[in-house]
């Protein structure tokens, strides 16, 4: 199928969104090579970053889709573009933490790297001008992120399901999932759908053996080898994605025979 890129709708920090000619129900997302941190106060970029993040997001979404988690992905095109279902985005970023890190470790005076007894789910109000502040459930309802507590609970349950899938997928690639952020939207039927991206920009990933950071913290904290780490994550995920595909094939052949 041919997809023809239409008008630019929006330019964000990591992506540009375009219309798809003849398909008002879709959005073409172009993953940029730029890298930002601290609400865009720190800026950088590296060649091929957009393509790596598109590939990583695509593999993650395909993996999660097989586990019953719908995503906005329609198709990959070119090297750094993805056609997606246009959603009514929820004004919230949902963060799941398995291990304490970053500002939350600091906030509680607990050492970074301390594992949590159970995953923590948090909501942040999605508004760059306010620097995406943390919000309680009641504040999320006040700001009309959702209509009811049960809808907020649904978001939490989707986020925990995503966490389980990601722990398996990243774990098989020798990566420890510390925490991550997702964005969700509702489609025309009102179903909650996983949107945006899942990449080393939006996850903390530590090498299982060495504990080395393999994500955007390399950029945030000037640790060096940013491009090399993103490349390594993409390579490893490719291997475990291919492995998971051949396992699915073997299982379906077993069922048929
Ligand atoms: P930001 O807006 O934070 O700078 P990006 O550069 O990644 O982030 O821009 C992507 C934008 O597209 C985000 O605002 C995100 O909420 C939005 N978005 C992601 N997926 C969809 C979708 N399926 N439908 C509509 N909007 C989406
Ligand atoms: N995160 C993100 N976008 C944001 C905020 C956080 O992708 O706007 C991700 C971040 O990469 C990390 C997780 O969400 O994997 C938790 O981030 P945290 O709140 O700990 O960020 P910090 O304040 O430490 O930078």
Q: Judging by beta carbons within 10 Å of its beta carbon (0-12, 13-18, 19+), is residue 82 exposed, middle or buried?
A: buried
Query: In the structure, what pLDDT confidence band is assigned to residue 209 with cuts at 50, 70 and 90?
Result: very high
What is the Cα–Cα distance from 97 to 118, expressed in whole angstroms? Answer: 9
Q: Is there a contact between 26 and 87 (Cβ–Cβ < 8 Å)? A: no
The residue whose C-alpha atom lies closest to atom 19 belonging to ligand 1 is 196
What is the Cα–Cα distance from 165 to 184, expressed in whole angstroms? Answer: 16
**Average pLDDT score, the chain:** 96
The residue whose C-alpha atom lies closest to atom 18 belonging to ligand 1 is 196
pLDDT at position 95: 98
What is the Cα–Cα distance from 86 to 64, expressed in whole angstroms? Answer: 19
> Which sign does the torsion angle of CA 101, 221, 163, 40 carry?
positive
Q: How far is the CA of 95 from the centre of ligand 2 (A)?
A: 7
Of the chain, the percentage scoring pLDDT greater than 70 comes to 100
What is the Cα–Cα distance from 100 to 134, expressed in whole angstroms? Answer: 16
Q: 36-76, pLDDT tens digit by residue? A: 999 999 999 999 999 999 999 999 999 999 999 999 999 99
The residue whose C-alpha atom lies closest to atom 10 belonging to ligand 2 is 202
Of the chain, the percentage scoring pLDDT greater than 90 comes to 93
For residues 170-190, give the mean pLDDT.
97
pLDDT at position 11: 98
- Domains of the chain in start order, with CATH, are 88-220 (3.30.470.20)
Tell me the pTM. Answer: 0.97
For residues 24-34, give the mean pLDDT.
98
For residues 196-217, give the mean pLDDT.
98
Query: In the structure, what pLDDT confidence band is assigned to residue 252 with cuts at 50, 70 and 90?
Result: confident
* Interhelix angle 49-66/226-256, nearest 10 degrees: 30
The string of DSSP letters for 54-91 reads HHHHHHHHHHHHHTT--BSEEEEETTTEEEEE--EEEE
Listed range (1-5, 96-100, 232-236) with the worst mean pLDDT: 1-5
Q: 135-152, pLDDT tens digit by residue? A: 999 999 999 999 999 999
Show the ligand 1 pocket: residues with CB < 6 angstroms: 12-15, 17, 27, 72, 84-87, 89, 183, 185, 195-196
Query: In the structure, what pLDDT confidence band is assigned to residue 254 with cuts at 50, 70 and 90?
Result: confident
Ligand 2 near 170 CB (within 6 A)? no
Q: Is there a contact between 236 and 174 (Cβ–Cβ < 8 Å)? A: yes
Following CA atoms 190, 188, 182, 38 in sequence, which dihedral angle do they give, to the nearest 10 degrees? -120
pLDDT at position 70: 97
**Nearest ligand, CA 214:** 2
Q: Is there a contact between 17 and 9 (Cβ–Cβ < 8 Å)? A: yes
Tell me if residue 12 falls in helix, strand or coil.
coil
Taking every pair of C-alpha atoms in the chain, what is the biggest distance, in angstroms? 58
């Amino acid at each position: 199928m041919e997809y023809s890129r239409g008008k630019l709708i929006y330019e964000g920090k990591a992506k540009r969104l375009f219309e798809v000619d003849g398909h008002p129900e879709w959005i073409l997302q172009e993953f940029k090579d730029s890298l930002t941190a601290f609400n865009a106060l720190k800026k950088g970029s590296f060649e091929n970053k957009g393509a790596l993040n598109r590939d990583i997001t695509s593999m993650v979404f395909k993996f999660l889709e097989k586990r019953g988690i719908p995503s906005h992905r329609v198709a990959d095109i070119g090297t750094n573009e993805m056609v997606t279902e246009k959603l009514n985005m929820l004004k919230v970023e949902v963060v799941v933490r398995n291990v304490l890190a970053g500002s939350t470790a600091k906030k509680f005076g607990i050492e970074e790297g301390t594992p949590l007894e159970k995953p923590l789910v948090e909501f942040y109000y999605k508004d760059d001008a306010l620097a995406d502040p943390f919000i309680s459930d009641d504040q999320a309802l006040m700001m009309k992120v959702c209509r009811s507590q049960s809808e907020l609970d649904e978001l939490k349950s989707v986020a925990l399901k995503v966490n389980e899938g990601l722990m398996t997928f990243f774990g098989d690639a020798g990566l420890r999932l510390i925490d991550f952020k997702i964005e969700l939207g509702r489609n025309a039927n009102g179903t909650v759908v996983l949107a945006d991206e899942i990449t080393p920009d939006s996850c903390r990933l530590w090498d299982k053996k060495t504990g080395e950071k393999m994500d955007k913290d390399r950029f945030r904290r000037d640790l060096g080898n940013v491009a090399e780490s993103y490349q390594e994550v993409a390579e490893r995920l490719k291997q475990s994605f291919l492995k998971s595909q051949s396992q699915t094939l073997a299982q379906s052949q077993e069922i048929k025979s």
